[in-house]
Amino acid sequence: MKYSYFHPNILCACEESGHITIIDTFSEKLLTQNSENFNNTLNYHQINPIHKQSVHNNSIFDFEWCFSDNKILTASGDMSSLLINFENLSNVTTELMLIGHSKSIKSVKQSFDDEMIVATCGRDGLIFIWDLRTNNKKFCNKNCEAYKIPHIHVLI
């Protein structure tokens, strides 16, 4: 789970089933339910999410809020990374699918300097650096430029 950087009341949770759930933690319903619980906890079944959607066929291991927190970039056990657009919650879309790893993708990160540069790290021992500007096609393994870098091992 990660809170949005620009919308501190918005929480995203990812599941082993491949679902993404977006929750407004300051919503009136949550506050009303929570006022009855003195320990400030809610059971999962008490939460009414803003949005819930299955986006992967396997576990989501990592995700990153991107592009001013209007999009989420995922890393999954199905060997793909998705860029999901949440700007319009009534029409959530998958903008890009980054594929190229031969095993599960364990981590994903957007560059601090350039939001169009993304890195994925997989169990295949590779780090892919993706330049999302190279082409706007949906499947970036054929159209976006990716640089493969072996994992870096630090010796102490």
> How many CB atoms neighbour CB 122 within 10 A?
22
Q: Are 60 and 76 in contact (CB under 8 A)?
A: yes
C-alpha span between 93 and 84 (Å, rounded) = 6
Q: Are 79 and 103 in contact (CB under 8 A)?
A: yes
pLDDT the model gives residue 31: 54
The rounded mean pLDDT for the chain is: 78
Tracing tokens 């700007």 back to the chain, one arrives at: 87
C-alpha span between 56 and 62 (Å, rounded) = 12
Averaging pLDDT over each range in 14-18, 44-48, 102-106, which range is the top one? 102-106
pLDDT the model gives residue 131: 81
**DSSP at 67:** T
Q: Which domains does the chain have, with CATH numbers?
A: 2-150 (2.130.10.10)
Q: What is the pLDDT of residues 69-125, one digit of tens each?
A: 889 999 999 999 999 988 887 788 888 888 888 899 999 999 888 888 888 988 988
